[in-house]
């Protein structure tokens, strides 16, 4: 099954900026709500927790939403830096909202 992880990354004040990152895998392991996801993008002491999971059995897809990450700043350039970091770890940065 194809599994796509999604995570919103926002500034302290979300009205100042939000991006969405995603990463797709082919796997038989399906995360459940409350599971912890590990990826080279995040620091080892940062727990990225599965918030919700959606299935599209017709298309053989699973969408996994990870709890949003809030950057401790309102500097929009930090979103761009995080987006570039995510891309360097094989994630896609799907949208910019600022």
pLDDT by position in tens, the chain (length 98): 999 999 999 999 988 999 999 999 999 998 999 999 999 999 877 899 999 999 999 999 999 999 999 999 999 999 999 999 999 999 999 866 55
41 burial type by CB count under 10 A (0-12 exposed, 13-18 middle, 19+ buried): buried
pTM of the predicted model as reported, rounded to 2 decimal places: 0.90
Rounded to whole angstroms, how far apart are CA atoms 87 and 98? Answer: 19
Task: Name the residue range of residue 51's domain.
Answer: 2-97
């Amino acid at each position: 099954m194809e599994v796509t992880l999604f995570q919103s990354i926002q500034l302290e004040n979300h009205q100042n900026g939000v991006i969405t990152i995603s990463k797709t895998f082919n796997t038989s392991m399906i995360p459940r709500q409350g599971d912890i996801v590990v990826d080279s993008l995040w620091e080892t002491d940062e727990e990225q927790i599965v918030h919700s999971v959606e299935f599209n059995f017709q298309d053989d897809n699973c969408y996994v939403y990870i709890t949003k990450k809030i950057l401790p700043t309102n500097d929009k350039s930090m979103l761009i830096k995080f987006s570039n970091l995510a891309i360097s770890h094989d994630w896609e940065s799907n949208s910019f909202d600022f």
